Amino acid sequence: MRNGRKTAVAMGEREYRWLEKGLRKMGFFSKLDLRHLSNILPYMELMEFPRKATVCREGAKGDSFYLIYRGAVQVKKSGWDKPVAVLKPGEFFGEMALLFRQPRTATVSTVKPSRLFILQASDFSRMLKKNTSVARTIREIAEARRKELARS
């Protein structure tokens, strides 16, 4: 985060179980089996953000994926009067940064103190190099997602 207000939080068994369960329900991760998911979990970090902290800015380099564990964030786009969305625990954002390394399409900030799981795109790439079967599955899912986005 640019303003340095996030804090690393130690993860225990409860957080790992929640994370594993959360990833299974989510977007492109939902298509991975438990064995593949277990390869991703060690790369996830849990970070705490205070209220009104900027998590990422529109136009900035897309370098990480976020899963909300506690709290809430609002998504804003320049030129829009109202927030695009308010995301709560179990919801996520930034998946396109992992898949395509695209610039951020919105600014995301916390609406109350929040804990977010974060997966850096560089760690995700490193994990894929070590796990070719996960990489193959993710590539297939990413291509399907890219085609879906092109149609919308």
pLDDT along the chain (152 residues), means of 10: 70 90 77 77 93 95 92 95 93 81 90 96 83 75 68 61
Looking up residue 103, the CATH number of its domain turns out to be: 2.60.120.10
The confidence score (pLDDT) of residue 82 equals 93
Is 2 inside any structural domain?
Answer: no
Say which residues have a Cβ less than 8 Å from residue 97's Cβ, sequence separation at least 6. 62, 63, 64, 65, 104, 121
What is the count of structural domains for the chain? 1
Domain that holds residue 26: 7-151
The whole-angstrom separation of Cα 105 and Cα 71 is: 22
The confidence score (pLDDT) of residue 5 equals 74
Is 143 inside any structural domain?
Answer: yes
The whole-angstrom separation of Cα 130 and Cα 144 is: 23
State what percent of residues in the chain have pLDDT above 90: 41
Is 44 inside any structural domain?
Answer: yes
Is 1 inside any structural domain?
Answer: no
The confidence score (pLDDT) of residue 127 equals 79
